[in-house]
Amino acid sequence: MASKRKAQKETMKPTRRPWDRLWPWAFGGVVVAGVAVVAYGILNRPAYPRVGAHWHAPFSVEICGRALGFPPSPGNVHTHGDGVIHVHPETDEEGRQATLEAFFRSIGVSLSDGALVLPDGRRFRNGDRCGQRPGRLRVSVNGREMTVGEFLRHYPQDGDRIRVSFE
At residue 24, the pLDDT reads: 74
Task: Give the model's pLDDT for residue 68.
Answer: 95
Asked if the structure places residue 110 within a domain, the reply is: yes
Q: Are residues 27 and 72 in the same domain?
A: no
Asked if residue 50 is part of any domain, the answer here is no
Q: Which residues of the chain have pLDDT under 70?
A: 1-16, 18-20, 38-46
- Whether 30 and 8 map to the same domain: the answer is yes
Domain that holds residue 15: 2-43
Same domain membership, residue 162 and residue 129 = yes
Q: Is the whole-model pTM more than 0.95?
A: no
The pairing of beta strand 162-166 with beta strand 55-63:
parallel
Q: Is residue 48 domain-resident?
A: no
In a domain, 59, yes or no: yes
Same domain, 90 and 65: yes
Tally of structural domains, the chain: 2
What pLDDT does 48 receive? Answer: 75
* Closest to 65 in 3D by CA, of 109, 148, 6, 130: 130
* Same domain flag for 31 and 72: no
Q: Is 125 among the domain residues?
A: yes
Q: State residue 8's pLDDT score.
A: 57
Let me know whether 16 and 83 are in one domain.
no
Q: Are residues 91 and 37 in the same domain?
A: no
Query: Do 116 and 104 contact (CB within 8 A), yes or no?
Result: no
Q: Are 56 and 96 in contact (CB under 8 A)?
A: no
Residues 49, 160 contacting (CB under 8 angstroms)? no
Whole-number pLDDT of residue 50: 79
pLDDT in tens, 90-137: 887 778 888 999 999 999 999 999 999 999 999 999 999 998 899 999
- 18 is a domain residue: yes
